[in-house]
Amino acid sequence: MIALAWLVLGVILLAVELHHLAFYSLFAAVGCFAAALTAVFLPDAIPVQLLVAVGVAVLGIVAIRPMMSRRFHVRSGTGALGRGVAGTLVGEEVLTLDEVGDIHRVGHVRLAGERWLATSGSGDTIPRGTKVLVTAVEGTTLVVWPVDNPPKSLPDPDDTPDRAQKEQP
C-alpha cells in the first residue's frame, strides 16, 4: 500500500515538472519511484524509504540537473545561454499582435505560444504584424525593436536600469 502512495506522489511530481520544466520535480519524482521500489522489499521501513527518496532526489538535483538544464536551455546555433529565464528571451524574433508603443501604450507579442506584454525600445509605435526583436525583459514586459530597424547594440540586462526607475525624479 505504501509503495502505491510513493508511485502516486511520483506521478503528481512528474505532472508538476511538465508544467514548470525546472528539473527539480523530476528528480523528486525519481526519488519517489526509488522509494516505491524500496517499499516493495521493505514495506515497514518507512524511514529507509524516506531516506532513499530524499537521497535520490538530492543526488539528481546536485549531480545531474545542472547538466540537463544546460543541454535543455541551449539555443540552437549560438550555443550560449541567457542569464536566467529572462535572458533566454533576449534575441528572440517575434510578431506583434497589436500596436506596441512606449510604456504608456503597451502592446502584445506572441512568444513561444504565449501572449506577452511588450513595449517599443525606441518609444515609436510599432504596427500590428511587425516582426520584432526582443532586446530586454523588464519584469513581465518585453522590450522590442523592429527587425528591419534594430538598435545599434543590445543592452546588457545587468546594466540597464528598470524603466520605472528612470521615470522617477
pLDDT in the model for residue 99: 93
Residue finishing a domain among 52, 73, 94: 73
In a domain, 78, yes or no: no
Residue finishing a domain among 73, 104, 132: 73
Please tell me the number of Cα atoms within 13 Å of 152 on its side-chain side: 0
In a domain, 79, yes or no: no
pLDDT in the model for residue 7: 95
pLDDT in the model for residue 18: 85
- Residue-by-residue pLDDT tens, the chain, 169 positions: 899 999 999 999 999 988 777 788 999 999 999 999 999 999 999 999 999 999 999 999 999 988 887 776 554 444 444 444 555 788 888 999 999 998 889 999 988 778 899 999 888 899 999 999 988 888 888 999 988 876 665 555 444 444 444 444 4
Can you give the CATH number for the domain in which 97 is found?
Answer: 2.40.50.140
Are residues 94 and 61 located together in one domain of the fold? no
**pTM of full prediction above 0.75:** no
In a domain, 6, yes or no: yes
Range of the domain at 120: 84-167
Asked whether 83 and 76 are in contact (CB, 8 A), the reply is: no
Are residues 68 and 88 located together in one domain of the fold? no
What is the total count of domains within the chain? 2
Residue finishing a domain among 73, 99, 128: 73
Angle at the Cα of 23 (from 49 to 140), degrees rounded to 5? 140
3-state helix/strand/coil string of the chain: CHHHHHHHHHHHHHHHHHHHCCCCHHHHHHHHHHHHHHHHHCCCCHHHHHHHHHHHHHHHHHHHHHHHHHHHHCCCCCCCCCCHHHHHHCCCEEEECCCECCCCCCEEEEECCEEEEEEECCCCCECCCCEEEEEEEECCEEEEEECCCCCCCCCCCCCCCCHHHHHCC
pLDDT in the model for residue 49: 96
Asked whether 97 and 110 are in contact (CB, 8 A), the reply is: yes
Are residues 8 and 42 located together in one domain of the fold? yes
